[in-house]
Every structure is written in C-alpha cells, then in structure tokens.
C-alpha cells in the first residue's frame, strides 16, 4: 500500500484503484500523462507500480488520508516501528514459570499483559538505540523528539497490541529505562502476590480452617461471621490439640483486630480445599474429589493383566433381592474370561469366578496370566494363593473404583449390552438415555415402583447368553477380530502354563478321601490312579488323603 522508493514516499497504483480513490486505471494513466501525477516506479516482475504521494493534489491526498486514517508519512513510520515488535521466547518462558510469593503462578491475563509489554518495550529500547547510532554516524548525537514521537506511536498501538504501558512521554521513558536495567522482573506488578500486603498468616489460616470443618458443615459466609464474632469476644475457641484458649489478642496487627473479607476466607479455604474436604466428608468423597488418578497403559497382549470386580445386577429377583456377580476381565482383549453369580456377595462368589477363568484358560490351551488386579474386599484371605499362581498381584485401594480397569469394562457391558434387555442406568445420569424409565402403580401401601422380576435361574441364563454375545462381538480397537479371537490369538508369550494340581489346590474344591487297594482314590464318584507306585511311600498308614479338584465346564 505505502512504500518508500529511492527515499520518496509512494502509493501503490493497485491500492488506489481498489480503494476507489480513483475509479479506473485509465484515469490514473491520464493524470500521469498530463503531469498531474508523477510515476515513481513501473510495475512488473513482482514489483508494484507506485505514484509519488507528494505529486498528488490536495483533494487526492485527503482521500488517501481518509482511507488509511492518518498521513501516509505517519502510517509508514508506525509500520517501520512495528517491524521492531517481534516474539520474545525468553519473556514467554519467564512469565510462564514465574511464581509469586504466595506460591501461585501468574494468571493467564497477567502473563499475556506482561509478555505484550515486554515485546513492545524491546522494540522501544532497540528503536532508541538505532536512532542514537544513526544520528551519531551523521555527527548529530542528540535524541531530541525521539521520545515524543515514540510515545505517540506506542499509544496508537495500544488498541492493536493491548499493552498497558504508560501513555505520557516521561513515564514511558522511565518505564523503558527501568526495563532496560531490570528486564522482565520490572514488569511484575507489586500489587499481586506481595507478602507485605497480605493479612494472612499461618495462625489465621488454621483458625479459618478449624471453623469450616465443624460437624455442622457451615458455609463460607458462616465461617466469616463466626470469625467476626470471635474477634468481638462473643465466642470462645480452644486449640483441639493443646486445649488452650485462643484469644482475639492473638489476631491483632498494630493493636487493631485482624479483620478479613469473605473473599479472603474463600481464598484460604480454596487453598486448603483438599484438607477441608477430607475432614468434612467421608473417605469416598475425598477419594473421588481429590486423590490423584492412576495413569495406566493398556497391555499389548492378552493374558498380560486380568482385572476383577463385583457388582449388583440391576434386575430384581422374585423375592425382591438382586443377583451378585463377579466378572474377570482380560484388559487387552476386553474378554470376560470368567464369571460367577450368587444371591450373596461372599468369598465363594470370588472363588467361583476364578474357577470359571481357569476353565476358560484350559479350554483354549492358554497359560497363566501375568498379572491380576483385585481389591481387598472379599479377596484379602486369598493373598497367598494369588501370589502363588500369578507373577504379579496388584491390590487396588478399597472404594477407589476409578483405578480398576474392570470398572471401564463393566460400564461398557452395562450400557451396550445389558441396557438392551433391562432398565439399566442411573436416575441422576447426565445423559437422558442413561436414566432408566420407572413405571409406578398404586397398591394398598401407596405408590410403588413396578419392576419385572426373575428367578435366579432365569436371570443367570440371560446373563450367560449376554456374556457369550459380548465375547464374540468385534474388538473395539482391532478391526476384523472378535474379543475371543484377540484373547486366544494374541496371548502374552511369557504367560506359561501351571500344573493343574497347583491350580486345584489354590482355588479348587477339597475332598477328604482315602487310598483304595494301594492303587487309586475316589473323588466325585470317579476313580483316579496314583501317578506311580513310589507315591505309596509318601502316604501314611491310615491311607487318608485330601484331594483337591477343579471340574471342567461339563
């Protein structure tokens, strides 16, 4: 649009026509031929055709100035200065890592403000330096008029760059001098994060927190009122650890009561929010709200990790109860390896799910999984057996559902398969489709929810079919493979088989029997021969034996 050519200010011909300052190229060409305009440069080979600005008459100059908002000389000067405003990676890093006295980082707004001020001041300092060197080379070391012009330019650029530098010439010069001496640190406002400006101290924080974690679970405003009543001497407070009386005299500064605003109370409580929630609420609330998540990496092979979890199935039994289920999931293949159902949530339910898993492994000729993930609930009594069978055993924290992989699979099974047959979901679910529809009827006891009920056998048969459907459906991440195919075809090469006697003794059934005819034992109406005659030397005279066994699917 505007360009100097041989130290003469020129205006692009194309811009003049496109901006409708002159209607056509022919009009411009005619004015040049008649001497009304002076051609400064011919266009072509990537160059823009220029006409000399000073050769324009007053009317044409006025149109140009109205179009760009100022004199082209001023506009070009602004454009020349803007070339000095460049990115400063060091400034960006400095303000991103800057920590205030109270331990907080700068806000996003502050970081942007200080960074913008820094790059504009970089330009100011460098521009002044270049002007000084240029004038010195011409024998004129003075800098008169530089700061006046700079102040005007910087003020004009405030709307474009959104900097907050001083508007006055002297203030801008002082700011630039301070910046040149103290760099980025000089831009940090003393109004934020200054310890001297804070009324807070450790005793005040402790008192506010203790008022907040009382049994009545007060609101933040109630805590503020309680603190003010304490300062006025209307209530007495005692140190819970020492039993000593806490007096208002301990909360004075320069002889005056240490008053605080509601926002200060909120700031204190927000800083100690995790501690406050731990004292005001139960373990599960604190665990779900504040405890860090477990970052997990999914295994590449099946049999790398099994994750176990129990749950109550949503359909009701004829007696009004619910079926308890225990699922064993293979993380990599997403397969339900084993499962068990019962009307009671007990250790037998867990054992049956493990037995079901071993049947699946034996059926497909697979080895022992490398890792099993369980929680202490129901399982802690089997610590020895689990650590005997599995190379790695991971104990999840009780109640911390989000760390178990089984929870994710339970959710997928629940909403993609179970939901097709039963009113599955939560009444407070965010998604409307996941809120179960409830039908209500009137009876002699009033309004009651109407539910379809099942016998234990009916319900378990339905779930066995659902599990079979799920296992034979497509894997979520491996195209063209079912979950069962991934489980059997992508097994961990380190998953070695264990002898069935070890498995049976850990999680099988137990039968007291005896040796018959020095040859065999009878278990579950079947006869089993000893492996060799040498085994007789290890059997006592009474010939009483304990047999451990694990039936197959049949």
How far apart (Å, rounded) are the C-alpha atoms in residues 169 and 460? 85
Tell how strand 8-12 and strand 50-52 pair up: antiparallel
Nearest to 79 by CA among 87, 71, 88, 67: 71
Per-position pLDDT tens, the chain of length 554: 666 666 577 788 887 888 888 878 888 888 888 888 888 888 887 788 888 878 888 888 888 878 777 666 566 666 678 888 999 999 998 898 887 766 678 888 999 999 999 999 999 999 888 888 877 776 665 555 678 878 888 888 888 888 999 989 899 999 999 999 989 989 987 666 544 344 567 888 889 998 998 888 999 999 999 999 998 888 888 877 777 888 888 887 777 788 888 888 888 888 888 888 888 887 667 766 766 666 677 899 999 999 999 999 988 898 889 999 999 999 999 999 999 999 999 999 999 999 999 999 999 999 999 999 998 877 889 999 998 899 999 988 766 666 788 888 998 998 889 888 886 655 455 555 555 555 656 666 665 555 688 999 999 999 999 999 999 999 999 999 999 999 999 999 999 887 888 889 889 999 999 999 888 999 988 999 988 888 888 888 788 999 999 887 66
Within 13 A of 505's CA, how many CA atoms are on the CB side? Answer: 9
> Exposed e or buried b for every residue in 415-454, given b needs 16+ CB within 10 A?
bebbbeebebbeeeeeeeeeeeeeeeeeeeeeeeeeeeeb
Which strands, in side-by-side order, build the sheet including 50-52? 2-5, 8-12, 50-52, 39-41
Tell the residue number behind the tokens 């440069």, with chain if given: 41
How far apart (Å, rounded) are the C-alpha atoms in residues 266 and 83? 46
C-alpha distances (whole Å) from 343 to each of 95, 316, 338, 454 are 61, 11, 18, 13
Asked if 128 and 146 count as a contact pair (C-beta separation under 8 A), the reply is yes
Tell the residue number behind the tokens 């009701």, with chain if given: 316
């Amino acid at each position: 649009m505007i360009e100097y050519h041989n130290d003469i200010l020129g205006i692009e011909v194309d811009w003049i026509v496109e901006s409708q300052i002159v209607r056509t190229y022919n009009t411009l060409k005619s004015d040049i031929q008649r001497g009304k305009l002076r051609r400064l440069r011919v266009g072509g080979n990537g160059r823009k055709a220029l006409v000399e600005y000073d050769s324009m008459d007053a009317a044409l100059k006025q149109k140009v100035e109205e179009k760009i908002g100022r004199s082209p000389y001023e506009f070009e000067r602004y454009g020349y200065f803007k070339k000095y405003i460049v990115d400063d990676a060091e400034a960006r890093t400095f303000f991103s890592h800057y920590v205030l006295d109270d331990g907080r980082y700068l806000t996003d707004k502050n970081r942007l403000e200080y960074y913008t001020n820094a790059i504009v001041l970089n330009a100011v300092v460098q521009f002044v330096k270049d002007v000084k060197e240029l004038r010195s080379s011409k024998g004129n070391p003075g800098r008169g008029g530089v700061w006046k012009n700079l102040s005007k330019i910087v003020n004009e650029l405030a709307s474009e760059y959104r900097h907050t530098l001083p508007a006055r010439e002297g203030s801008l010069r002082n700011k630039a001098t301070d910046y040149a001496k103290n760099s980025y640190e000089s831009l940090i406002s003393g109004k934020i994060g200054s310890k001297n400006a804070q009324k807070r101290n450790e005793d005040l924080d402790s008192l506010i927190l203790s008022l907040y974690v009382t049994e009545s679970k007060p609101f933040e405003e109630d805590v503020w009122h309680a603190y003010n009543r304490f300062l006025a001497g209307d209530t007495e407070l005692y140190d819970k650890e020492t039993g000593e009386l806490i007096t208002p005299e301990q909360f004075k500064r320069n002889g005056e009561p240490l008053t605080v605003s509601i926002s200060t109370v909120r700031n204190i409580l927000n800083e100690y929010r995790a501690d406050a929630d731990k004292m005001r609420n139960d373990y599960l609330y604190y665990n779900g709200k504040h405890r860090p998540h477990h970052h997990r990496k999914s295994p590449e092979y099946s049999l790398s990790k099994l994750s176990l979890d129990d749950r109550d199935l949503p359909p009701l039994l004829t007696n009004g109860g619910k079926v308890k289920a225990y699922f064993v999931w293979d993380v990599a293949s997403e397969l339900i390896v084993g499962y068990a159902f019962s009307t009671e949530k007990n250790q037998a339910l867990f054992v049956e799910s493990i037995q079901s898993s071993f049947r699946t492994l034996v059926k497909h000729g697979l080895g022992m999984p490398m890792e099993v993930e369980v929680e202490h609930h129901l399982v802690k009594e089997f610590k020895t057996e689990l650590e005997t069978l599995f190379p790695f055993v991971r104990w999840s924290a009780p109640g911390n559902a989000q760390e178990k992989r089984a929870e994710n699979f339970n959710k997928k099974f629940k909403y993609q398969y179970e939901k097709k047959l039963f009113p599955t979901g939560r009444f407070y679910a965010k998604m409307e489709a996941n809120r179960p529809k409830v039908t209500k009827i009137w009876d002699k006891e009033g309004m009651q929810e109407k539910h379809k009920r099942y016998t234990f056998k009916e319900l378990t048969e339905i779930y066995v079919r659902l599990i079979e459907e799920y296992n034979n459906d497509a894997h979520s991440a491996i195209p063209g493979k079912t979950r069962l195919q991934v489980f059997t075809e992508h097994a961990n090469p380190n998953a070695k088989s264990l002898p069935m006697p070890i498995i049976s003794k850990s999680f099988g059934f137990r039968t007291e029997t005896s040796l018959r005819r020095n040859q065999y034992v009878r278990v579950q109406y079947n006869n089993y021969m000893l492996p060799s005659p040498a085994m007789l030397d290890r059997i006592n005279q009474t010939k009483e034996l304990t047999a451990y066994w694990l039936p197959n699917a049949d």
